[in-house]
Amino acid sequence: MAESLATLIEGYREGYALPGAFYKDPAIYELEVRDIALKAWLYVGHQSQVPERGDYFLSEIAGESIIIVRDGQGAINALLNVCRHRGSRICDTATGHESRLTCRYHGWSYGLDGSLKAAARVPEGFDRSKHGLRRLHLRNLDGLLFVNFDEHPPDFGSLERAMAPGLRPYGLATAKVAHRQNYPIASNWKLAIENYCECYHCQPAHPEYSIGHGRALPNEECDAELAEVMAKAPSVGLTQDRIHRSWLFAEQFGLEHCFDRYPLLRDHVTGSRDGKPVAPLLGTITGYDGGATDWNFGPLTFALAYCDHIVVYRFAPRGQYLTDCEVTWLVNGSAVEGKDYDLAGLVWLWDVTTIADKAIIERNQAGVDSRYYVPGPLSPPMEYFTQQFLDWYIAVMRRNITDGLPGRRPVASIRTTAEGRK
């Protein structure tokens, strides 16, 4: 495997798409799960999904199931959904409320912190303290919950500090989930992320989005509009900061992050059918500046922030040819559905866009599966962020075969010619 992967890596041409074997080799997929998906910081949901003691929801990735539950002390815990007796799943429903987590196979019962509370007819000398549910590292970033499976994950603090100025005005900690929907995509996870990271396809594929979003154009075509947005931002409580640190620029694997402002066009002030407001303003924002903010949290999570709502995209590999694209719409925590916002109007743009993307990505998978597929060149002005992702991916996989410690060291030695998302 190491030799064939090394050959594939050497065959990768910077500025081009990946060779087809990276999407089709099951051994490569298993390496990606072990050394990327299960070592990175992963977004799992928002704290508003577990408002009370005993409230829980499940998060799934690569065959692993995580219970996110609030305990009696108010803490939120991430527990592996695997009984410590013979491995049965404990929780089956996607959301629920439990005073204890009890395995229905043999009755082992766990506290909301994962500690084993009861187990009948166990051997003499059995130590319950050593048989609690496996706890995963969990961090709360202004209400956004992230977990990490690794025993020694990278320090989440550097991501928190870097992203704080761009997050603070939106008041994420006091926001709530208005809607959450999964769009399963029959493709390799990398194709889903490659698609999200570029807007080269937006004008031909997403007319609903392109009519009002400057991201659908090369940067130089909307520089004047961006300057106006940045100048107006402080007047409504938004920052003028623009951080371009992602993929190859992250301090350490699993901490890839960035935020970037861009203009909305044709008098649009938010992402909606007509560009008009769809929900109350978020956080401390006092008005609309005609812009939107892109966020990137780790290698699998992205978000788009408008002044009145936020859309979070989480890509989770579920199989070599199956990727969960879970989309979450966040609104002001005090907003009332049917009074302050219409749910259909709120979700319309990113529902129609994601349905279209699902078809695009699945068609892409069918094409790269061809025996005759040959990687083509990327568009420098429109696929720059995708290029960063591919270069980062190759760097991670190369380290896999050279020192056996993927995800442990920065890839800071690899640079591209310019920072920024396009």
Q: How far apart are CA 39 and CA 79, in angstroms?
A: 16
Assigned CATH for 158-402:
3.90.380.10
Q: For the chain, what are the domain ranges?
A: 42-139, 158-402
pLDDT at 268: 98
Separation between Cα atoms, residue 421 and residue 304, nearest integer Å: 14
pLDDT of residue 242: 78
User: Nearest 5°: phi and psi at 64?
Assistant: -100, 140
pLDDT of residue 241: 77
CA angle 277, 282, 284 (to 5 degrees): 125
Q: Tokens 């903010």 label which residue? A: 293
Give me the pLDDT at residue 410, please. 43
Q: Are 95 and 49 in contact (CB under 8 A)?
A: yes
Task: Give the contacts of 161 (CB within 8 A, at least 6 positions apart).
Answer: none
Mean pLDDT by 10 residues, the chain (422 residues): 81 95 95 94 98 98 97 97 98 97 97 97 95 98 97 93 93 98 98 97 96 94 93 93 79 89 96 98 97 95 98 97 98 98 98 98 98 96 94 91 50 38 34
pLDDT of 1: 57
Q: Which helix (H) or strand (E) holds 140?
A: strand 135-141
pLDDT at position 239: 86
For the chain, the residue count is: 422
**CATH superfamily, domain at 42-139:** Rieske [2Fe-2S] iron-sulphur domain (2.102.10.10)
* Residue-level pLDDT at 403: 56
What pLDDT, on the 0 to 100 scale, is given for residue 251?
83
